[in-house]
Amino acid sequence: MTRILILEDSDESLKALTAMVKSVSDKVAAVPVKSLNEARGAVKDADAPFQAFLLDINLDADDKNDISGIIFAGEVRAMKKYAFTPIVMITSLVNMELKAYRELHCYQYLIKPYNEDEVKTLISRLLFMQQPDETKERFIIVKKSGINYKLSCSDIICLKAVQRGVCFVLADGELNVPYVTIKRLLEKLPEGNFVQIHRMCVVNTDHIENVDFVNGIIALKGGVTAQMGVTFRNTLKQKLMGGSTDE
């Protein structure tokens, strides 16, 4: 079940948006709340984590400068378990939408008044991201300059830490993504395929062509090489050979 928290201060709009979200699939559980305090309580008391958040930026119709939704989005992003959870901002103010994209790494935004087709398309995408399906190709979504990039995990050769971000070395090139870390990305990448071989590097084991454990060098597809850290060599050896971690 995909749990989606919907934060909207208008009773009518909240009811309409909740109905649109729930109409997409019986696998969606919508949790509607009207205020910042209700949203905080819903997250705090949740029996299971949310897989997405739809957040109205302005929760006070009498205060055009209210940004309670952005405040809550910042609180959500600060929680480790929600570091990469899709956040969709709801707004009628373009400048607020840009702030949300740049500072909170939002997945998408919705402009009021709601367009039912747009809402349903969005929820369908979120469902696709969440549903386990062995036949579905795994991917990760990263953001750069306000643009979402959908990267197939099978195309990722390795990840290398660079100044203020991470470089994705891909089968068809490279993509530098700012303001993310190796540690945070490891939490989103599929377990088993990606192994950390250095504090500044993670490799996709499907792309390994040769490993020199003596000199700590890994040869990857596409002519890419990576250096192993001493403390990570045994872990990789056990992963690839299923043997002892003893040197």
Rounded Cα distance, 56 and 44, in Å? 19
- pLDDT for the residue 148: 83
pLDDT category of residue 181 using cuts at 50, 70 and 90: very high
Domains observed in the chain: 2-130 (3.40.50.2300), 143-241 (2.40.50.1020)
pLDDT above 90 (res 90): no
pLDDT above 90 (res 104): no
The most distant pair of C-alpha atoms in the chain lies apart, rounded to whole Å, by 68
Rounded Cα distance, 195 and 204, in Å? 7
Secondary structure percentages of the chain, helix, strand, coil, to 5 = 35, 30, 30
pLDDT category of residue 20 using cuts at 50, 70 and 90: very high
Mean pLDDT of 37-42: 96
Higher pLDDT, 107 or 215: 215
- pLDDT for the residue 98: 54
Rounded Cα distance, 225 and 209, in Å? 10
Rounded Cα distance, 176 and 198, in Å? 18
SS3 (DSSP) at 160 = strand
| Model pTM score | 0.54
Whole-number percent of the chain with pLDDT over 70: 87
